[in-house]
Structure 1
Amino acid sequence: MQWALESAPPVPLASFPAAPVEGLYALYYVGSHSLYRPVSSSACAVPIYVGKSLSSGKSRSGMVVRGSMNRRLRTHLRSLKDVHDLDAQDFLVRYLPVDEIWTIGPERLMIGDHRPVWNVVVEGFGVHMQGSVRAPTTPRTFWDELHPGRPQSERQRDAELSRADLQRAVRQHFARMASD
């Protein structure tokens, strides 16, 4: 399944085709941000983030509600548009529509194989934002600390690591990957 996802053609995240599917997806960075230069490539060899989408449950009529990948990718796109130091146009996505029972294992395998920086070092890109009541008591995710701009994160307290610490952790991660 990982091979099938990695052989799918990448498409711009901003123009992801609307389709009622669940499945696996991988985001790739093709921009010029200095921190992500080690993985920036139009060849889409190393994902910056790997995720899965699951059905959103059942509607009142009992029918399974499909199309969660569209929602997840739109949420990711909105996050990228909100931040001050990344351009949403610099992201491509590969996706593989599969039933949700086939997503968890392959997602974990891809994360283990590729160690996408936003999955293993700068966690928080894919989290659902806290409600406005809980926001002030919750620390920002590492991703929000490193990439400020998502509205909800502005009301949260500082993350456990500083922006400088996170930048250093990202550089160390890429150095370890290059030496492997």
Structure 2
Amino acid sequence: MTKEMKRPTSHISGNSIKPALSKAVEFYTDNNRQAYECIHERDEYIDYLESKLSNARPQQALPVVPECVAEWIECVKEKNNNALALLDDDNMPDDVNEWLFFQRNDDNIKLILRAWLDGYTVEKPQLFYLKNKLTTSYLALDTNTGYYEHWGEEIIPKLLKKQGYKISFTQQEIDSMETRSYEQIEVAE
């Protein structure tokens, strides 16, 4: 004999579930809101601590050293990583020796040691155009031939883009040249 099966009756209806679902949604919504508020408060506290820390230790600018000194620092670091070797007169290049011991002596010794410890930025030398006082032409060095040439002012922008020509010079380079009939014009950054 086969038993007849009836569909079970349920006492759960849409109206009886709504309050339970509503409570669950409210529970998760409240917890998410509280979690967001905690995260927001934590972020504000982190910002506060970072601002206190940055105000407590003001950032100092890195020391500025000439290019020859920067090269010397890197050379010494590469060879033996000993700051005292920076002051070794026997191996030091002449231009570094001059800068270190004959220009503002104590200040430069402190500066090179500070650069060793903290890092540094390389000083950009002031550059000058050389304009002939008589002809108003500009001096340019053809780096391929080593000869100096004179160019009109209208050609200078073209030479700036052209490789093989040097049209601006450092004071040290100018001092080693015959430039009596030339006027120095600072190159704007």
TM-score, normalised to structure 1's length?
0.23
The structure whose residues are more often helix, as a share, is: 2
TM score, norm. by length of structure 2? 0.22
Instruction: Name the structure, 1 or 2, with higher relative contact order (CA <8 Å, separation 6+).
Output: 1
